[in-house]
Amino acid sequence: MRINAPKYLLVADLLSKEISNGFPAVGELLPKESDLIERFEVSRTTIREALKRLVSQGLIETIHGVGTRVVARAQNQSFMLTSRSVSELVSYGAGPTRYLISRRESLVLRPEDTPVLKMPAGDTVLRLAGKRVNRADPDLVVSVCRIYVRKPYLSAVSHDREMDTAVYTQIAEAFDSTIQKIEQEIQAVFVAPEEAELLHATPYSPALQVVRRYFFEDPEPFEVTVNTYPGHTFTYKMTLNRAAKTAS
């Protein structure tokens, strides 16, 4: 515990330690605000600031009319992506995550799908829907993930319900091809109500949507992934180097 820290940090640290030890357990409610004020002998403002900190760490959530519920025993991990080349960006997908598939379906793309997927409307694609979890701790959800694969490459996609190997890696190896280009777009969005429980997040709370399109030589991507991350768990880092001067 940080002895010289503000009171709200001391309270937050102690509550965090108790939660990590299972008291209260995940799914149970914290004591009422008035009880915490009496226990720690601090102001209402101090307790509220401490609880805000635990919310930001992904340990608790406040439910109107119910109380403050514990949603995790440990802080959500922060995932940092550093990329300077296609090979580095591809290697990110081979990190310590596992893809758990909840739905697999064939669908025909609509005109409104084209701006995101950059695949022609009317094409038939395979769509996988599920979540990425930490491989060492499957209860830790990294993102909600949807994957779209063009019809010519469907035979390369594993039928397993759990995948440690990225789909684009499966396709590249099966077709003995090298990924030539990856397009990536990051957009601020809100957590959809149907995804909130999977992400252990509050509906309509801030999130990041990361769209990646993978290309061989064709002008159209062979695969597109759409990942939604809770806003406080994803960090994007890019290194820019000054170009070397050329001789005149």
Phi and psi for 118 in degrees, rounded to 5? 60, 30
Is residue 112 predicted with pLDDT exceeding 60?
yes
Q: For 176-244, give the secondary structure using H, E and C.
A: CCCCCEEEEEEEEEECCHHHHHHHCCCCCCEEEEEEEEEECCCCCCCEEEEEEEEHHHEEEEECCCCCC
d(C-alpha 12, C-alpha 5), whole Å: 11
The pLDDT score that the predictor gives to residue 248 is 44
The pLDDT score that the predictor gives to residue 135 is 84
More confidently predicted of 64 and 107: 107
Class of domain 79-238 as given by CATH:
alpha beta
The pLDDT score that the predictor gives to residue 110 is 92
Range(s) within the chain of domains with CATH label 1.10.10.10: 7-70
Best-predicted range by mean pLDDT (28-37, 73-82, 87-96, 190-199): 28-37
Q: What would the mean pLDDT of 187-207 be, rounded to a whole number?
A: 86
Q: Give the model's confidence band at 95: pLDDT under 50 very low, under 70 low, under 90 confident, else very high.
A: low
> 114-159, pLDDT tens digit by residue?
889 999 999 999 999 999 988 888 888 889 999 999 988 999 999 9
The pLDDT score that the predictor gives to residue 84 is 57
Dihedral sign from CA coordinates of 129, 165, 225, 135: positive
CATH topology of domain 7-70: Arc Repressor Mutant, subunit A (1.10.10)
High-pLDDT (> 90) share of the chain, %: 45
Q: Which residue has the tokens 């038939």?
A: 124
The pLDDT score that the predictor gives to residue 87 is 58
Letter for the amino acid at 232?
A: H
The pLDDT score that the predictor gives to residue 196 is 86
The pLDDT score that the predictor gives to residue 100 is 95
> 7-20, pLDDT tens digit by residue?
888 898 899 999 98
Range(s) within the chain of domains with CATH label 3.40.1410.10: 79-238
Letter for the amino acid at 68?
A: T
Is residue 96 predicted with pLDDT exceeding 50?
yes
Q: What would the mean pLDDT of 106-111 be, rounded to a whole number?
A: 93
Rounded to the nearest 10°, the torsion over CA 118, 121, 126, 131 is 50
Please report which helix (H) or strand (E) contains residue 163, including its range: strand 162-163
Residue pair 156/195 in contact (Cβ under 8 Å)? The answer is no
Which residues, 6 or more positions from 45, have their beta carbon under 8 angstroms from its beta carbon? none
Residue pair 171/226 in contact (Cβ under 8 Å)? The answer is no
Strand 124-134 and strand 141-150: the pairing is antiparallel
The pLDDT score that the predictor gives to residue 217 is 84
More confidently predicted of 199 and 88: 199
> 210-247, pLDDT tens digit by residue?
999 999 988 899 999 999 988 766 666 666 666 555 44
The pLDDT score that the predictor gives to residue 94 is 42
